Amino acid sequence: MTFEEFFKKKRIDLVALEQAEPALFSEFKVHYDQMGEKSFDHTKKYWFNKLRRQFPLAPEVKTEKPHIANPLAEQTITESLTETAPPPPSPKLGFVPKFKMGNMPKPAVNTDDKKEEPSNTPAPEKTPPEQPDEKNEAKPAYKPRFNMKNIPPKVEGE
């Protein structure tokens, strides 16, 4: 970006600035050439509002759209510009956990909704729950490193 384009972007009239304050203009020109756009903008940004008020750039006059002699071509161009793209797919709503917990209880089945009809078939007999084997026995959650029974009693006077 050139020096002139930079001040046009900042909406400052460079010709009026050069006529009113030639020393400031020449200093800005030298600094811009040495620093570049970003550094110049960063170091001189406090000047821009004051200069924009003193030397405002005239608003650009927008030119009207040229009239096209071929109405069919104009219609085709207009239609191609106004075609709507299909809407993007809607995002998923709601929270979805990133993992499944293995110890989650299964939801209880509500039997109130169903009416039980008496049937002629006998109900299956319930078997008593099996005794857990030593292998299948659940381990305690916490096992202390020492047993309180094995600690010698504290002798007074020591």
Alpha carbon distance 148, 35 (integer Å)? 77
HSE of 23, CA atoms in CB hemisphere, 13 A: 0
Please report the pLDDT score of residue 72 as a whole number: 64
pLDDT of residue 31: 92
Per-residue pLDDT, 92 = 72
pTM above 0.95, yes or no: no
User: How close are the terminal C-alpha atoms of the chain, in Å?
Assistant: 89
- Quote the pLDDT of residue 120: 61
- Per residue in 71-124, pLDDT (tens digit) is 666 677 777 666 666 667 777 777 777 777 777 666 666 655 555 555 565 555
Query: Tokens standing for 131?
Result: 């005794």
pLDDT attached to residue 112? 57
Can you read off the two tokens belonging to residue 34? 């040495």
User: Tens digit of pLDDT for each residue in 9-68?
Assistant: 889 998 898 999 999 999 999 999 999 889 999 998 888 889 989 988 877 777 777 666
Q: What integer pLDDT is reported at residue 128 of this predicted model?
A: 55
Residue 10 burial (CB count, 10 A)? 17
Position 132 pLDDT exceeds 90: no
Question: Residue 95: its pLDDT value, please?
Answer: 75
Spell out the residues 6+ positions from residue 56 whose beta carbon is closer than 8 angstroms to its own: 11, 12, 13
Q: For the chain, how long is the longest CA-to-CA vector?
A: 117
Q: What is the pLDDT of residue 145?
A: 74
* Residue 152 Cα distances to 98, 111, 128, 156, angstroms: 51, 58, 45, 12
